[in-house]
Copies of this chain bind each other. A is one copy, B any other.
């Protein structure tokens, strides 16, 4: 403890200077965030530009200015920290995703989403690991061992769900959104879990025993993480229903929801589970039960406050990525071997595209085998969109790459330096170029037959081939708000045809009979089925 206090006092002495730097950094960052919001708003009508691209561009411009201002010494004001990313920025984004997701869509597509998110990510991981190990041999990339190649596989199988979300709109294309985005969350979790598992296992010799234990470990992590999220979500519903019954205090309710959601993430991280999965399911359970137990004001507040926190975190990440691009040190080392670096980035981009194609099309094919009618199959156009939407790489890849390639040395080693700059190049290229093309591509493949302000029958029919096989009775988001009584009327007919609907039907019975009496939720005021994103509160 004497040491501790000594360290604190030294820290305080050092901090007088560091303080001023961090105050300046924070001020600049907050000012840039404001600029991103205002400029993003002004560019809203532009169909080619989204908020991620705006933030990256502003980050790049600021980085350039800083580079000149510091005479080439540094292009960024904050050092990228995994802790900042994984402990503070990622949880609100993923929690909000779970909180605002259209639950019905998500759970009806559950099998497809998880097969894409888990099996798909594993396929992608294998292809990128093997491919890079084979192809990098012919390039002089410095020393990379087996664990590095496996890490590369995990790093580049993590799609950027944040960026994808901004490209698709939940209101315009609810089911395509739910599929692509649901896969994105499961994929994030899977790649982080793989990455962490790789560091624990001794993979110097891969035997079937090791592979089996690896698979068992993954399954265990998925199951426990999900259960933890559900448990904390139910706890919040129970506490708020039990204690706050009749005498609501808005600030306490909102504070408790925020803190418990964050607690679920932290507990998962503490026990080395997947916080991403935990907080995602916590968000779903909270929107299904807790959200209905609080006052009207708390509902509006939580809905918008969570969305705002997530929004700020997203811009923060992209702004940082933009500023970090020009960081000169990495490029100095790589500069002498620019050709190699470009080759590495190109190979990785190629492997990413192949790795994704290698599961989207086969898994869609398998999924289509189970569909009887031709109109129920996943069409080629939609497979292409699903493939394309997952090509972006973002902050998760960055964070994992920093973890792997700055931990075992620093970026002055050639191999590490090349991998870091390649990661940045790929994130930048995929977000800016692929992101730029996505909106026009979707418009081209699925031309809107009506104004987007009225996304009803016409849009439904235009995208039918994608979601009809996933939604057995062909209903979309619109009929949903008529409540589950509507579903029940037609459910007997559907029951024998589609097992997923049967599961949903029995879940509803169970939910109404056992869950809602204990945990509250909309069941007490029978009527509209909704999540915070669906209910029109304004």
Residues of chain A whose beta carbon lies under 8 Å from any beta carbon of chain B: 1-2, 4-6, 8-9, 12-13, 15-16, 19, 22-24, 26-27, 30-31, 33-34, 37-38, 40-42, 73-74, 79, 82-83, 87, 239, 243-244, 249-252, 254-256, 258-260, 262-263, 266-267, 269-270, 295-298, 300-301, 303-305, 307-308, 311-312, 328-329, 402-403, 406-407, 409-412, 537-538
Q: Could you list some 22 contacts between A and B, CB below 8 A?
A: A2-B329, A5-B329, A8-B406, A12-B82, A12-B402, A15-B83, A22-B83, A23-B266, A23-B269, A27-B270, A30-B259, A34-B259, A41-B249, A41-B252, A255-B308, A255-B311, A255-B312, A258-B308, A301-B301, A301-B304, A301-B308, A305-B305
CB-based nearest B residue for A1: B329
The count of identical subunits is: 2
Question: How far does the Cβ of A59 sit from chain B's closest Cβ, in whole Å?
Answer: 16
Cβ-defined partner of A12 (8 Å) among B13, B16, B30, B406? B406
CB <8 Å contact, A295 and B259: no
The list of the 7 closest CB pairs from A to B, nearest first, reads A9-B410, A301-B304, A27-B266, A254-B308, A305-B305, A1-B329, A30-B263
**Bound state CA distance, A83 and B21, in angstroms?**
12
Find chain B residues with CB under 8 A from A263 CB: 27, 30-31, 34
**Bound state CA distance, A329 and B33, in angstroms?**
42
Find chain B residues with CB under 8 A from A30 CB: 259, 262-263, 266
Find chain B residues with CB under 8 A from A9 CB: 406-407, 409-411
**Bound state CA distance, A442 and B366, in angstroms?**
74
CB-based nearest B residue for A31: B263
Find chain B residues with CB under 8 A from A298 CB: 304
Question: How far does the Cβ of A419 sit from chain B's closest Cβ, in whole Å?
Answer: 14
CB <8 Å contact, B2 and A412: yes
Question: How far does the Cβ of A249 sit from chain B's closest Cβ, in whole Å?
Answer: 7
Question: How far does the Cβ of A55 sit from chain B's closest Cβ, in whole Å?
Answer: 13
Q: Assuming A26-B87, A27-B263, A410-B9, is B34 touching A328 (CB within 8 A)?
A: no
CB <8 Å contact, B296 and A305: no
CB-based nearest B residue for A83: B19
CB <8 Å contact, A304 and B87: no
Find chain B residues with CB under 8 A from A16 CB: 407
Question: How far does the Cβ of A107 sit from chain B's closest Cβ, in whole Å?
Answer: 26
